[in-house]
A and B are shown apart, each in its own frame.
Chain A
Amino acid sequence: MTSEEKNITNESTSEVTAPESASTEAAGSVDPNAFVPELLTVTPSPHIRAYDTTRTIMLDVCIALLPALIWGIYIFGLRALSVVLISVIFAVLSEFVWEKLMKKPVTVLDFSAVVTGMLIGMNLPVSVPLWIPAVGSIFAIIVVKQLFGGLGKNFVNPALAARVFLFAWPAHMNTFVSPETSLSPLAVSVPDVVASATPLSALKNGIMPTSTTLFNSVLGFESGCIGEVSALLLTAGFVYLLVRRVITWHIPVAFIGTVFVLAYIFPQSAPTLDFALYEIFSGGLFLGAIFMATDYVTSPITTKGRIIYGIGCGALTVFIRYFGGYPEGVSFAILIMNLLVWYLDRYTKPKRFGGAKVGKAKN
């Protein structure tokens, strides 16, 4: 303490004699002006940010989709890869071209178009002509996404809207081949494929599927769209998204749970439990519930809203599967619920902190 005081006195005397050197000495030979910028940036707080960006989130979704996609390529052959590649390329290209034409900032690097493209491709049967994924991607990106203002502004999921648009060609969209069929990866169209019944179409007719066992249906040895067959690998993607905190469990669990419960209560054929399990493991339910119903832009933001939304999706899926003209109802169910998102958000708005009477009542 004394040495410090002495130090102070020394400085003050030196300051009297030589004020020039005083300032540098006071700081212990540090130049207080070094690196001081001419202008400082003034912004409102906060001054630090989390590391997540839209891009990392979209990349996480791509990574989560990969196991199911690789499985699709494995069992349906290289043509599956062609279909998905074409849809991805056309999704990215249409976004790029549109933004260039409209003189908007190009946002393809946020990977949202890649996710849309992957989902479109994975929602198609492997036997579709190769122009189908291209048309689907162009429709999804330009009509559903960009015409409404681009990322974050679309009111329905672009990939699902594109899939429903593609039902304009039902012959292509409803022909499913069995997993062993080998198809040319590059031929534009593959006529004369041998169609195989999906488990869902059997269920639709009130009979238990014979083409596959329940175990194979979970693993993914069944006919169907490229990315939807393996419930197991889609669940792996779900776990990845949960671990990375990209999505919460509410929508997929409420969605799949509702379908299971309704199918169990109102079975179309016996045994009940098997029927209900086939209902959830066949068709696009896992792909839809995990990857499409949870699309941020078109799903509610509150926990309560998410649960209601999941239950609504599940109930509509079962309703369409039972009473609709088409064996699958997941896409339509999600699209309908997409339209209700704002209302779900608005009417499930959490009570603000200190807004409830709890604070006073407890007091």
Chain B
Amino acid sequence: MALTFNGGIHVEEHKNTRSCAVEAMTPPATVSIPMSQHIGIHAEPCVKVGDEVKRGQRIGDVESGLGCPVHSSVSGKVIRIDERSTATGAKIRNVVIENDGKMEVSPDIVPWGKKLADTTTEEIIEIVRNAGISGMGGATFPTYAKISSALGKVEHIIVNCAECEPFITANHRLLLENPDAVIGGLKILLKAFSLRRGEIAIEDNKPDAIRKLEERLADSDLIDIRVLKTKYPQGDERQIIYALTGKELPMGKLPADVGCCIFNAETCAAIYNAFVNGMPLVERIVTVDGDCIKTPKNVLVPIGTSYRDLIAFCGGLIREPKKIVNGGPMMGFAQWDIDSPVTKGTSAILALSNDIEHHYEQPIACIHCGRCVRGCPMRLMPNYLALFAMQNKLDMAEQFDITSCVECGSCSYTCPAHVPISQYIRAAKIKVIERSRLAQFAREKSQNK
């Protein structure tokens, strides 16, 4: 019996690249590496225009605070440092490096000298931070900070291989082709937390990967494979925690508060790579798919590669796309610039034509069918939230728990009237949060008087 949560929706899977082995990409002529690819503060470039850099060399650094360093993914020359929008829309400084094609590895890259058993928790955190590892599932929280903030509170270390978004098969292929890296990463994390047992959570639509893991873990009873039902959004950490432990993560709490810490499969592999080879996070697996791509593929991409180069590596476009999406089709961000770079959080690049939504029409009136309520993993009533948002009734929206929305998009997906429910909710949610912050600010001020 596969584990799962209540609510959620069944989405057409589109896992077309399920059997496409990961191909290493021919490195592009230039890469454009953003100085921040995660939540937290931006790194400062520590190279100048004209500097020669090597692969794996640190090119951006964070003095203090939540953030991690950035490394070059190719060897070559820094030709510009400019500003460019990120996938989510913020302006960020990018270091643009012209690839000399030699892929020379920086001399700083040396394997960690000690055995895992002799490595301390602090040393592991330092390795992870220096390797610039941040969550590679999409939320991109700096991994070292996740580890250090959760120390001592955690009983469950969970590797998230649910991959519930349609189209994406990057984690699936990683588990098939390099399960030892994921398992090795988990072991390093277990060592950091001084725990013995770990869990790998995986959806039941990847039976071959489950078999592979079972083979590798046959002689170890310290890592459990927990099979999840294929359902969206099964990969959301709240839903994984609920499926595995039966605990509901309260609002505003971190997984560590209920004794769980969740890492993406590829993040684990990156930790393993940093430990064994000393190589920081400079490349990642990206699923390139969509009905406009000639040959959909899973590609090992140097960070900073532009979508254009990546798509060209996959045979280019065969028709004009309407949208280029960074991430999965349910929660990914539609991009306006095809020359934007792949970052640490880019799990997929999808080029979608109009046909993907060919049945999509102009929104019409809500008929109160209840599909959004049935599908909401947070047990909200999205139809009413959207209505209150339209009418700007923020009090009612707050009463109906608008701030609990995780913006998974299930409501918009299922809506037969094509009402952009999650968009309405998002807009009103920001207003509600802003309003309560202002109210708190006013309260504090009056108390100080």
| Chains A and B form a bound pair | yes
Residues B299-335 near A (CB distance < 8 A) = 308-309, 311-313, 315-325, 329-335
Q: Per-position contact with B for A1-23: 1 when CB-CB < 8 Å, else 0? A: 00011011101100100000011
Minimum CB–CB distance from B350 to chain A (whole Å) comes to 8
Cα distance A237–B294 when bound, in Å?
Answer: 45
Specify the chain B residue showing the minimal Cβ separation from A358.
Answer: B248
Which residues in A have their C-beta under 8 angstroms from that of B423?
44
Cα distance A255–B152 when bound, in Å?
Answer: 54
Q: Is the CB of B365 within 8 A of A350?
A: no
Q: Is the CB of A152 within 8 A of B365?
A: yes
Q: Is the CB of B357 within 8 A of A48?
A: yes
Minimum CB–CB distance from A44 to chain B (whole Å) comes to 5
Contacts A11-B101, A41-B334, A49-B360: A354 and B249 contacting too (C-beta < 8 A)? yes
Q: Is the CB of A350 within 8 A of B379?
A: yes
Q: Which of A126-134, A262-270, A296-304 lies at the interface with chain B?
A: A296-304
Q: Per-position contact with A for B362-385: 1 when CB-CB < 8 Å, else 0? A: 001111111101000111110110
Minimum CB–CB distance from A342 to chain B (whole Å) comes to 9
Which residues in A have their C-beta under 8 angstroms from that of B390?
none
Q: Is the CB of A35 within 8 A of B312?
A: no
Residues A33-49 near B (CB distance < 8 A) = 33-37, 39-49
Q: Per-position contact with B for A31-68: 1 when CB-CB < 8 Å, else 0? A: 11111110111111111111111101100000000000
Contact of B321 among A23, A30, A40, A353 (CB under 8 A): A40
Residues A143-183 near B (CB distance < 8 A) = 149-153
Which residues in A have their C-beta under 8 angstroms from that of B335?
40, 42
Q: Is the CB of A45 within 8 A of B416?
A: no
Contact of B367 among A28, A44, A45, A297 (CB under 8 A): A297
Interface residues on A, range: 35 or more
Q: Is the CB of A32 within 8 A of B311?
A: yes
Of the listed residues B319, B321, B331, B369, the one surrounded by the most CB atoms of chain A closer than 10 A to its CB is: B369
Interface residues on chain B, number (Cβ under 8 Å)? 94
Q: Which of B116-124, B190-198, B264-272, B406-414 lies at the interface with chain A?
A: B406-414
Query: Does A103 belong to the interface (CB within 8 Å)?
Result: no
Cα distance A15–B246 when bound, in Å?
Answer: 58
Query: Does B404 belong to the interface (CB within 8 Å)?
Result: yes
Minimum CB–CB distance from B141 to chain A (whole Å) comes to 19
Residues B241-255 near A (CB distance < 8 A) = 242, 246-251, 253
Cα distance A302–B372 when bound, in Å?
Answer: 11
Which residues in A have their C-beta under 8 angstroms from that of B322?
37, 40-41
Specify the chain B residue showing the minimal Cβ separation from A48.
Answer: B329
Which residues in A have their C-beta under 8 angstroms from that of B350?
47
Q: Is the CB of A43 within 8 A of B29?
A: no
Minimum CB–CB distance from B100 to chain A (whole Å) comes to 6
Contact of B324 among A4, A15, A40, A110 (CB under 8 A): A40
Q: Is the CB of B378 within 8 A of A32?
A: no
Minimum CB–CB distance from B137 to chain A (whole Å) comes to 15
Query: Does B361 belong to the interface (CB within 8 Å)?
Result: yes
Query: Does A210 belong to the interface (CB within 8 Å)?
Result: no
Minimum CB–CB distance from A313 to chain B (whole Å) comes to 17
Q: Which of B20-28, B55-63, B201-209, B216-224 lies at the interface with chain A?
A: B20-28
Which residues in B have their C-beta under 8 angstroms from that of A51?
359
Which residues in B have their C-beta under 8 angstroms from that of A99?
none
Contact of B103 among A8, A30, A149 (CB under 8 A): A8
Query: Does B68 belong to the interface (CB within 8 Å)?
Result: no
Query: Does B259 belong to the interface (CB within 8 Å)?
Result: yes
Q: Is the CB of B367 within 8 A of A49?
A: no
Query: Does B215 belong to the interface (CB within 8 Å)?
Result: no
Cα distance A153–B367 when bound, in Å?
Answer: 8
Specify the chain B residue showing the minimal Cβ separation from A57.
Answer: B416
Q: Is the CB of B364 within 8 A of A107?
A: yes
Minimum CB–CB distance from A352 to chain B (whole Å) comes to 4
Minimum CB–CB distance from B256 to chain A (whole Å) comes to 11
Which residues in B have their C-beta under 8 angstroms from that of A110?
364
Specify the chain A residue showing the minimal Cβ separation from B249.
Answer: A354
Q: Is the CB of A27 within 8 A of B316?
A: yes
Which residues in B have their C-beta under 8 angstroms from that of A37?
320-322
Which residues in A have their C-beta under 8 angstroms from that of B317?
34-36
Of the listed residues A27, A296, A297, A362, the one surrounded by the most CB atoms of chain B closer than 10 A to its CB is: A27
Q: Is the CB of B367 within 8 A of A354?
A: no
Which residues in A have their C-beta under 8 angstroms from that of B364?
54, 107, 110, 151-152
Q: Is the CB of A40 within 8 A of B409?
A: no
Which residues in A have their C-beta under 8 angstroms from that of B367?
54, 57, 112, 151-152, 296-297
Cα distance A151–B369 when bound, in Å?
Answer: 12
Minimum CB–CB distance from A327 to chain B (whole Å) comes to 31
Residues A101-151 near B (CB distance < 8 A) = 107, 110, 112, 149-151
Contact of B400 among A53, A299, A349, A363 (CB under 8 A): A349
Which residues in A have their C-beta under 8 angstroms from that of B166?
48
Which residues in A have their C-beta under 8 angstroms from that of B417?
53-54, 152
Q: Is the CB of A345 within 8 A of B26?
A: no
Which residues in B have their C-beta under 8 angstroms from that of A5?
103
Query: Which 9 interchain pairs have the tightest Cβ spacing?
Result: A12-B101, A152-B365, A27-B312, A46-B409, A35-B317, A32-B312, A359-B248, A30-B316, A301-B370
List the interface of chain A (C-beta within 8 A of B): 4-5, 7-9, 11-12, 15, 22-23, 26-28, 30-37, 39-54, 56-57, 107, 110, 112, 149-153, 248, 296-299, 301-302, 345, 349-356, 358-360, 362-363
7 additional A-B residue pairs with CB within 8 Å, beyond A35-B320, A110-B364: A8-B101, A40-B323, A40-B337, A40-B338, A44-B426, A45-B330, A51-B359
